[in-house]
Amino acid sequence: QKEVEQDPGPLSVPEGAIVSLNCTYSNSAFQYFMWYRQYSRKGPELLMYTYSSGNKEDGRFTAQVDKSSKYISLFIRDSQPSDSATYLCAFTIYNFNKFYFGSGTKLNVKP
Amino acid sequence: DTAVSQTPKYLVTQMGNDKSIKCEQNLGHDTMYWYKQDSKKFLKIMFSYNNKELIINETVPNRFSPKSPDKAHLNLHINSLELGDSAVYFCASSQEPRAGGGEQYFGPGTRLTVT
């Protein structure tokens, strides 16, 4: 079983739609949960970062963590064409020596 | 000012050659990383350094040798390049958790093509 599973997409939605991106993980030692956004030919940039179960909101983005189900989600409200990118979930344990990434979901928001 | 920089941005070379990629961060972070991203966008950690010391080596062939001359630099040297080494290589850095860190900052990537 892979430590992190993420649907690769691509996911295509109209502008203004609510987008839901998901990852599952198998390692119970994961304590920190992150979402990165990667535009084509650029490095990943951190969007959201949390360490507890529940929801965390930042503007149009909401990160949700369910540790009991080993499942995390990223919701994007009022999606914009500028949100078109690949979204990567990432996990790490307490010492941050190693980060585990999902394979990324490619999102396309059509105007 | 660029937080994490890498050079070169593009590298095209032939099989069997030796090449180096340089990385520098000006964030004062303690930990630096090298990642390899394949054509399917899968980002896999190769090495992790904390205060110039190697702490993670993820079963990378020993043709890959990282070197950290100081806390702000982590270079990657690759010997005897193979076709399968073609990928985008990302450098990243983060602060130690007890210093309130965790957020990783990535460089722009080096696109390596081996022909």
List, for residues B36-49, the tens digit of each pLDDT value. Answer: 998 877 888 899 88
How does the average pLDDT of chain A come out, rounded? 91
Percent of chain A with pLDDT over 70: 97
DSSP summary character for residue B9? S
Q: Which residues numbered 31-70 in B keep a CB inside 8 Å of some CB on A?
A: 31, 33, 40-45, 48, 50, 55-56, 58
DSSP string, B42-75: -EEEEEEEETTEEEEE-S--TTEEEEEEETTEEE
Predicted local distance difference test score (pLDDT) of residue B51: 82
Contact at CB, A8 and B33, closer than 8 angstroms: no
Q: In this complex, which of B48, B101, B106 lies closest to A44 when CB atoms are compared?
A: B106
Contact at CB, A104 and B4, closer than 8 angstroms: no
Distance separating alpha carbons of residues A1 and A70, to the nearest angstrom: 13
Distance separating alpha carbons of residues B5 and B73, to the nearest angstrom: 10
**Which has the closest alpha carbon to B82: B109, B64, B108?**
B64
Let me know: does A17 contact A109? Beta carbons within 8 Å. Answer: yes
List, for residues A68-82, the tens digit of each pLDDT value. Answer: 999 999 999 999 999
As a whole number of Å, the CA-based R_g of chain A is: 13
Contact at CB, B101 and A92, closer than 8 angstroms: no
